Amino acid sequence: MVNKTLNYWDADFEDDVININVGGLRRRLSSSALSKFPNTRLGRLLLCDSEESILQLCDDYDVSAREFYFDRNPGFFLYVLHFYQTGKLHVMEELCVFSFCQEIEYWGINEFFLDSCCSYRYHERKLESRHYNWDDESEVSSVDTSPDEILDFNHDLLRYSTLRCGNLRKRLWLTMENPGYSIPSKLFSFVSISVVLVSIATMCIHSMSEYQVLDENDNLLDDPILHNLEYFCIAWFTFEVSSRLLLAPNLRKFFKHPLNLIDIVSVLPFYFTLLVEVTLGSDSELGNLGKVVQVFRLMIHLYCSLGATLKHSYREVGILLLYLAVGVSVFSGVAYTAEKEEDVGFDTIPACWWWGTVSMTTVGYGDVVPVTVAGKLAASGCILGGILVVALPITIIFNKFSHFYRRQKALEAAVRNSD
């Protein structure tokens, strides 16, 4: 198509017309109209003095026919023609706002040339799209990762096909690992949580003086019923951990999971204590450590969903903490100025920070209370501001929790369909 034997421009070209072909749509434009906008792509064609410079601006050209070819959207080119004729650009409704931005950027037309009838709508759509993408970006890790997790999970289940009694082992593993797999798995999960609660209740009751038994030397003895309950709980935890360890399809992944490590650590102190008592004949506090780990084990399970929600809501949580920090700093300074002479606990700025934190989070211990009118006004503003600041991101965080819940349901459905 390129004709190298002809001159690129004639001497009187500025008074002539050129042919523009965009995706098969052919139109004629006068060079005088293009020269009004020298910074646009077509306007820069008038300044080209070599083949290389021309091909940097168009996809192909024919000097003899004075025709330039562009592989772009022909529908949008009609809006470009209108721009060269009137100096005003209008929004093409059929294009999304970002495609429109890409088109005007390609043709070198600044959005400043948008006509007043389209300017407000264009900027409004652009702002809405940015907000939409920001929300999608913050939610993508909590919603769209389910297919990857399901694929990884199914890959682990394929390992059972190469093992002896693989189908039975897979069913037992799913029963113990996923409460949504079947009715027996729900019953197993219920029993497991119940045993954890019994273990915690046993530890709490054992610490109460009315349930403690002392011998003739005032040494603390274990209550027989509580002692048997503790042994039963330890036996159940041992059975659960060892079974899941033997049935796990991937031992490396099993030991990398923090909840599995907590399960193992919650059982080991009991056997260490038993070993020490048998070998050395002395008591040890490692058993109490195991009970504490059982509490931590339950807390980890209960806050797993909340932790994942906060992980994917770090922007909202960060803004919440920022607002709280600003509010605490402002109201603490006001309270210090108003109450520093009253000797009621507002002696230093750090002490006022404690009061501001307690007040903005609406905890209100009442250990430090303002007595002056200015201090009470500052306290009122601090409390009201705290209510607003804490309440604002709750809806967003709740939506993230709903997304996480749907993700877990999708994973459970994939597990039920794995057979």
Q: Specify the DSSP class assigned to residue 109.
A: -
- Which residues, given as ranges, of the chain have pLDDT below 70? 1-15, 129-154, 215, 218-220, 277, 280-314, 397, 400-401, 404-405, 407-419
Q: How far apart are CA 69 and CA 23, in angstroms?
A: 8
Residue 362: what residue type?
Answer: T
Same domain for 155 and 131 = no
Mark out the alpha helices in 63-180 (DSSP H runs).
74-86, 97-106, 116-143, 146-157, 166-177
Return all residues near 116 (Cβ < 8 A) that are at least 6 apart: none
Last residue of a domain, one of 137, 172, 200: 137
Same domain for 205 and 130 = no
Return all residues near 45 (Cβ < 8 A) that are at least 6 apart: 18, 34, 54, 57, 58, 68
Q: How far apart are CA 116 and CA 136, in angstroms?
A: 31
| DSSP-derived 3-state class of residue 95 | coil
272 within a domain of the structure (yes/no): no
Same domain for 244 and 159 = yes
Q: At what angle do helices 224-247 and 286-302 cross, to 10 degrees?
A: 60
Same domain for 189 and 167 = yes
| CATH code of the domain containing 32 | 3.30.710.10
Same domain for 331 and 361 = yes
pLDDT digits (tens, 9 = 90+) for 299-323: 544 445 555 555 666 677 777 888 8
Q: Which tokens go with 289?
A: 């450590």
Q: Which tokens go with 181?
A: 């797999």
Pairing outcome for strands 17-22 and 67-70: parallel
Pairing outcome for strands 220-221 and 17-22: unpaired
Residue the block writes with tokens 């965009």: 22
pLDDT digits (tens, 9 = 90+) for 339-392: 888 888 888 888 888 898 888 887 888 888 888 998 899 889 988 988 888 777
Residue the block writes with tokens 């060892």: 242
Same domain for 132 and 88 = yes
What pLDDT is stored for residue 150 in this prediction? 58
What pLDDT is stored for residue 148 in this prediction? 55
What pLDDT is stored for residue 410 in this prediction? 67
Instruction: Check if the beta carbon of residue 165 is closer than 8 Å to that of residue 196.
Output: no
Last residue of a domain, one of 137, 169, 192: 137
What pLDDT is stored for residue 419 in this prediction? 54
Residue 335: what residue type?
Answer: A
Same domain for 74 and 21 = yes
Total count of domains within the chain: 3
Share of the chain above pLDDT 90, in %: 1
| DSSP-derived 3-state class of residue 243 | helix
Q: How far apart are CA 299 and CA 303, in angstroms?
A: 6
Is the Cα dihedral 340, 345, 349, 352 positive or negative?
A: negative
Among 83, 76, 13, 97, which Cα is nearest to 48's? 13
Instruction: Check if the beta carbon of residue 89 is closer than 8 Å to that of residue 121.
Output: no
Last residue of a domain, one of 201, 217, 249: 249
Among 95, 115, 116, 117, which Cα is nearest to 106's? 95
264 within a domain of the structure (yes/no): no
CA gyration radius, the chain: 36
306 within a domain of the structure (yes/no): no
Task: Identify the domain containing residue 159 by its residue range.
Answer: 146-249
Q: How far apart are CA 316 and CA 323, in angstroms?
A: 11
Same domain for 124 and 21 = yes
What pLDDT is stored for residue 70 in this prediction? 92
CB-based burial label for 170 (10 Å; 0-12, 13-18, 19+): buried
175 within a domain of the structure (yes/no): yes
241 within a domain of the structure (yes/no): yes
| Chain centroid, CA 334 distance in Å | 36
Same domain for 163 and 126 = no
Instruction: Check if the beta carbon of residue 400 is closer than 8 Å to that of residue 312.
Output: yes
243 within a domain of the structure (yes/no): yes
Residue 337: what residue type?
Answer: T
Same domain for 157 and 86 = no
Q: Which pairs from 151-154 meet CB under 8 Å and 24+ separation?
A: 153/411, 153/414, 153/415, 153/418, 154/414, 154/418
Same domain for 159 and 79 = no
Same domain for 382 and 345 = yes
Q: In what order do the strands lie in the sheet with 60-62?
A: 25-30, 17-22, 67-70, 60-62
| CATH code of the domain containing 328 | 1.10.287.70
What pLDDT is stored for residue 145 in this prediction? 43
pTM strictly above 0.85: no
67 within a domain of the structure (yes/no): yes
CA angle 248, 406, 413 (to 5 degrees): 50
